[in-house]
Amino acid sequence: MIDAPGWFTEVYPKHGSAFSLKVKAKLHEEQTPFQKIEIFDTEWFGKLMIIDGCTMVSDRDNFLYHEMMTHPVLYTHPNPQRVWVIGGGDCGSLKEVLRHPEVKEAVQIEIDERVTRLAEEYFPGLCTSNHDPRAQLLFIDGIQWVKEAAAGSVDVIIVDSTDPVGPAEGLFNAAFYRECFRCLGPDGILVQQSESPLFHAELIEAMHQTMRSSGFADTRSFFFPQCIYPSGWWSGTMASKSAISGFREAAAEARPFETAYYSVDIHQSAFATPEFLRKRLSAI
């Protein structure tokens, strides 16, 4: 919502908190068949995309999310050649995936084409790989795509979704995880954004339990700052068909592209689990 004198505020009623950004102008607003999308120009965070009243992406801090949702999993998998991005309509995760030369094909499956078209207009820096010959953009239901895909047809699945409500609700359950498990190759890894460890510890715990019960041999969560999301502290959770014993550290150190946040040290430290959450996960 916009509060005088020109602040966008996202309120988190359950947690008695809110996040605000000073707005210079509203650049766009539309209701798609799936959700309401707004674009603002803010005073310090640059362009800001809002979906159904929730902050999605900003010019200022999107690199944190996009780098951490891609590079840790891609350097954990031994040979990630085939990648799916489910959701990710702003195309930032797709861009980071395609910076890896070993990736031979990357399919982005986004249900709402308008998210991508607006990103191309207002966040062009995130969309520079949209025409990479290895990229395929599909505007269909990601849940249906996974159901219909061939077994063992992908190495890494990145679920870059909105919160587990509305169109994204079906991406956080056992039926979806079982289909992902079926589609992944022998060393396949699923990674999914898993909300704030401070606000949503119960969701992270439930994801680990459900991923394990869906057949995955190992699950790991990692943590990173994300200023515009609830609490400013975010997470991703990996589920692997084989035990996660480490990552391709030498390859990560020698990566042929620059990053703003991700590094070997960040990779290692991001998987250190806070004690309050470790206690919840230790019995799984």
Question: Residues 59, 90, 155, 160: which is the catalytic one?
Answer: 160
Report residue 48 as tokens: 């800001």
**160 annotated active-site:** yes
Tell me the sheet residues that pair with 2: 8
19-27 contacts at long range (C-beta below 8 A, 24 or more positions apart): 19/55, 19/228, 19/230, 19/232, 21/45, 21/48, 21/58, 21/228, 23/48, 26/2, 27/122
Where do the H-state alpha helices sit in the chain? 62-68, 71-76, 92-97, 113-122, 142-148, 174-183, 201-213, 249-253, 264-270, 275-281
Residues recorded for the chain: 284
Residues known to be catalytic: 160
